[in-house]
Amino acid sequence: MHDTVRTGNGLEIHATRPKPRRATNGYEVDVPELLSQVIPTPMSNRPRMDPETAKMEIARRHREIMEILGLDLTDDSLSETPERVAKMYVDEIFAGLREENFPKITVVENKMSYDEMLVEINISFNSTCEHHFLPILGRAHVAYICKGWVLGLSKFNRVVQFFAKRPQVQERATVQIQQALAKILQTNDVAVVIDAVHTCVRTRGVEDESSLTRTSKLSGAFQSNPSLRAEFFASIPSPAQLKMS
């Protein structure tokens, strides 16, 4: 699995071209090659269980947790909770831990000769804090300078959501999304900003109901050209403009 591979020099993994499977006027992203070059989520070296076995094991262990807490698992409202949690973990909120769930992406040739900045703002996502397994509710803003290749707009959403669907810290998620898009589009001119509410901060510990966290990862012209960087940040909502529950 790609998550066990450690490559690059920390957070600065420069774009190298994935080995493309050519299609008409474009190429299909080689997912294993792509993910091997993105900063990994910490994973054990043990063999991965198949999804159905994983669900059974998670349900069994979650049942034990509920019993330790003193809950009555014979109650109609609780009896199927372990299975619901297991299905949610494997099929939904942690689906991004499995390479096969990466979206199918075909990158197409930039026949329009468009060479300016493209920005997609307010990509909504839900992730999970890896420290407390509580939700992270976020918005991603992504941009790139169009060169030889372009990407369907919905694919930006799907890439963001893939990396969100795993236990995360916001800084890592930001870098993973930026690196993946740079490699998919074969350009270093990519910028990613994430704004997020962490419910581990809101519902426990300091119980802060108003704070929002912003992270960014910029490379290429977005990092070296101050006017382009300023144009990008001017085009995305300020934290005060975001309405995030």
Quote the pLDDT of residue 12: 38
Say whether 130 is catalytic. Answer: yes
What tokens appear for 188 in the block?
């270093």
Selected catalytic residue, list 62, 132, 171, 223: 132
Query: CA neighbours within 13 Å on the CB side: how many for 44?
Result: 4
Quote the pLDDT of residue 24: 60
The whole-angstrom distance between residue 105's C-alpha and the CA centroid of its chain comes to 15
Cα 146 to Cα 189: distance, rounded to the nearest angstrom: 8
Query: Taking each helix axis from N to C terminus, what angle separates 153-164 and 170-185, rounded to the nearest 10 degrees?
Result: 140
Quote the pLDDT of residue 184: 97
Quote the pLDDT of residue 209: 85
Say whether 198 is catalytic. Answer: yes
Say whether 62 is catalytic. Answer: no
Cα 182 to Cα 223: distance, rounded to the nearest angstrom: 13
> What are the backbone angles phi and psi of residue 88, rounded to the nearest 5°?
-60, -45
Distances 191 to 22, 131, 207 between C-alpha atoms, Å? 26, 26, 31
Mean pLDDT by 10 residues, the chain (245 residues): 38 45 78 97 95 98 98 98 98 98 96 95 98 98 95 97 98 98 97 97 88 97 98 94 78
Say whether 231 is catalytic. Answer: no
Quote the pLDDT of residue 158: 98
Selected catalytic residue, list 2, 161, 176, 198: 198
Round to the nearest angstrom and report the end-to-end CA distance of the chain.
Answer: 35
Say whether 129 is catalytic. Answer: yes
pLDDT digits (tens, 9 = 90+) for 107-165: 999 999 999 999 999 999 999 999 999 999 999 999 999 989 999 999 999 999 999 99
- Are 164 and 126 within 8 A, CB to CB? yes
Domains in the chain, please, with CATH? 51-96 (1.10.286.10), 106-238 (3.30.1130.10)
The secondary structure of residue 146, as a DSSP letter, is -
Selected catalytic residue, list 28, 83, 130, 171: 130
What is the edge-to-edge ordering of all strands in the sheet holding 149-150?
Answer: 21-23, 26-28, 106-109, 149-150
Say whether 52 is catalytic. Answer: no
Selected catalytic residue, list 99, 171, 200, 223: 200
Q: In the block, which residue shows the tokens 């990466």?
A: 102
Show Cβ contacts of residue 163 under 8 Å, excluding neighbours closer than 6 positions. 96, 173, 176, 177, 180
Quote the pLDDT of residue 164: 98
Quote the pLDDT of residue 8: 38
Selected catalytic residue, list 170, 176, 178, 179: 170
Quote the pLDDT of residue 201: 87
Say whether 131 is catalytic. Answer: yes
Quote the pLDDT of residue 210: 82
Quote the pLDDT of residue 14: 43
> What are the backbone angles phi and psi of residue 7, rounded to the nearest 5°?
-135, 165
